């Protein structure tokens, strides 16, 4: 059983051509997944017609995308300046997500006709 798991793990790290995947390949996969998730979140966000509400609703997945991309940098990047920037992005973007979620939780959805 242990041998089967080892072979599975090795197979997942090898491309269809039999070459080991590079860190750059894994990084680009993570970035692509982050961007796809962000785009899906932004396009599926509930729009109320209220500018402030809709701004916050769309910015949350946008900021989450930045967080996910920063995590990819921290997982694969080596440069200390870029890693520091990624760490700052994690903190700043999460703080802004928290602020927008708090605002959305305290604000009734506006009636678009009144704006």
Q: Report yes or no on 43 lying in a domain.
A: yes
Backbone angles phi, psi at 110, to 5 degrees: -70, 155
Number of domains observed in the structure of the chain: 1
Q: Report yes or no on 63 lying in a domain.
A: yes
- Give the domain extent around 85: 22-107
Q: Report yes or no on 114 lying in a domain.
A: no
CB 76 within 8 A of CB 27: yes
Q: Report yes or no on 73 lying in a domain.
A: yes
More confident residue, 109 or 82: 82
The arithmetic mean of pLDDT across residues 84-96, rounded, is 98
Degrees (nearest 5) of the Cα angle 30, 95, 63? 35
Q: Report yes or no on 10 lying in a domain.
A: no
Q: Report yes or no on 17 lying in a domain.
A: no
Range with the poorest average pLDDT among 19-23, 82-86, 103-107: 19-23
What is the share, in percent, of the chain residues with pLDDT greater than 90? 73
Mean pLDDT score across all residues of the chain: 85
The arithmetic mean of pLDDT across residues 2-27, rounded, is 63
Alpha carbon of residue 70 to chain centroid: 8
The arithmetic mean of pLDDT across residues 62-82, rounded, is 97
Find the DSSP H helices in the chain: 2-12, 23-43, 51-76, 80-106
- How far is 21 from 92, CA to CA, in rounded Å? 32
């Amino acid at each position: 059983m242990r041998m089967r798991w080892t072979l599975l793990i090795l197979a997942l790290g090898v491309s269809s051509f039999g070459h080991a995947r590079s860190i750059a390949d894994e990084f680009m996969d993570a970035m692509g997944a982050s961007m796809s998730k962000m785009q899906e979140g932004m396009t599926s966000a509930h729009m109320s017609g209220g500018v402030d509400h809709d701004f916050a609703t769309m910015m949350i997945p946008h900021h989450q995308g930045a967080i996910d991309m920063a995590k990819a940098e921290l997982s694969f990047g080596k440069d200390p300046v870029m890693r520091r920037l990624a760490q700052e992005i994690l903190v700043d973007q999460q703080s802004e997500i928290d602020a927008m979620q708090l605002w959305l939780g305290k604000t009734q959805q506006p009636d678009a006709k009144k704006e």
